Amino acid sequence: MALDYSLLLQTDLHAKQALQLLFTGIEVDARIQKWRQRVFISTDASGLIISAYRFKANEPRFIAEELGIEVSLSIGFRLDKFKDLDAQRHLLLQGTIELLRQVKGDAVLLFNGEVVWLLRKAGELILNSGMDLWRPEYLVLVPLPYQMKDLPTL
């Protein structure tokens, strides 16, 4: 069994480019490989699997309808719940913030496709203040200016 997070972005980056930027400046042994239409990354972070792919035009519509973001790229994080979840989540958030620091455009980080952890829209970064998602050890990973607000569940 695994826990799934998705970082959905509005960007012109290709999947491989995004994954390369994800770990810029972060001490992770990451190897990128392509399989069919997806690009995967394997890391030294036990249990964490990351994949990325570009959406076809106007897909997925529910993000555009719910949040007003025309998503073009998806980065999926699959955490092994039988391994060190804090270490995996820490790496996921560290990589996400690094990518958002380097890439402009709207973005949303979802847990299980419905719980919004963070939202960046029109350059404003909002972290979900509901459900105690952002523990102090995660907040220190966010050096970017941000606001805390209660964000919707999709």
Q: Is residue 154 part of a domain?
A: no
Q: Is residue 103 part of a domain?
A: yes
β-sheet bridge partners, residue 39:
34, 52
Give the pLDDT band (50/70/90) at residue 17.
Answer: confident
pLDDT at 75 over 60: yes
What pTM did the predictor assign? Answer: 0.88
Domain membership of residue 85 as a residue range:
2-149
Q: Is residue 112 part of a domain?
A: yes
Confidence (pLDDT) at 99: 92
Instruction: Find which of 10-19, 62-71, 121-130, 131-140 is predicted with most confidence, using mean pLDDT.
Output: 121-130
Side chain identity at 125, as an amino acid letter?
A: L
Q: Is residue 79 part of a domain?
A: yes
Confidence (pLDDT) at 33: 67
The CA distance from 34 to 142, in Å, is 30
